[in-house]
Amino acid sequence: MSFGAEPSLGERCFCAKLANMTRMGTHRFVQLDVFTEQPFAGNALAVFPDGSGIPEHEMLRIAREMNLSETVFVLQPKPAQDESPKALRRLRIFTPTRELPFAGHPVVGTWNLLAREDVVPKPDSGTGWTRIYQELGIGTLPVDIEFEDGGIVQVVMTQGKAEFGTVLEDAHEQADLVRSLGLAPEHLNENLPIQVVSTGMKFLLVPVRALADLRNCRINAALLTEIYIRHGATGCYAFSQETIEVGESRAEFLARVRGEQFRLRRVARWHAHHQEGGADGYGAACESTRH
């Protein structure tokens, strides 16, 4: 599945040096705001454009120190073992608690940055598309980047094959789920299933009737985490099919991001480390695949 975006990095792009007591040296990183045109909005991301000198056992510690939803370490690809296309770079993606095999906004944000830093070859005319391949925990996947006059227009990522898993049908478990979201059973959209869906990582998708109900979600993180982990998911993605603006050709949805609201195709993500996430390309792709 492909997921396209115009991943503006806002006006915020910090560069710094990182050093620690293990004397692993200094390593440049860039902090980005993805899926936004405003500084300090969207979904924050830290990227180490050259993570080759960082010891593997230090990556999780660094991500924990960053304390962002994800931190990406860009590495040279491993030698191809099969007929997969040759990857331009390998991405290792970490939350503050663990490594992820795949994620959405870290891929889009990282390749936006790498294209700006001339890692990605541009079309000869400066305008057109470039396809590259990236190595992730789930395998080698393409990324398509559009340029115009040498500048980036958009990044389109291809996700893994969609897999549809467990449907949560037990009435008692559904009651616990809506309680973990601070809602009532009547707030669920009964025309759609509560289901685990994956295009690389498993998410529990929860259909909610109205945007007003979605805005009123009050999360019981411990209970919600217990429920989605029980079903093998890595997060929960609550969504509504209600549009924000009547008459638009593309349905847009409300996202709740750290207490603020903005428009997205789908809605909110909660990470396993009990933090509500920002705009999320991977979770949105799971949701749009299912519905």
Instruction: Give 190's contacts (C-beta < 8 A, 6+ positions apart).
Output: none
What is the CA 239 to chain-centroid distance, rounded? 16
Catalytic member of 6, 58, 70, 99:
70
Active site residue 226: no
Q: How far apart (Å, rounded) are the C-alpha atoms in residues 156 and 7? A: 10
Question: What six digits make up the tokens of 214?
Answer: 């979605």
CB 272 within 8 Å of CB 229: yes
Q: Which residue has tokens 């480390």? A: 273
Instruction: Give 128's contacts (C-beta < 8 A, 6+ positions apart).
Output: 146, 147
Q: How far apart (Å, rounded) are the C-alpha atoms in residues 91 and 109? A: 12
What are the catalytic residues?
Answer: 70
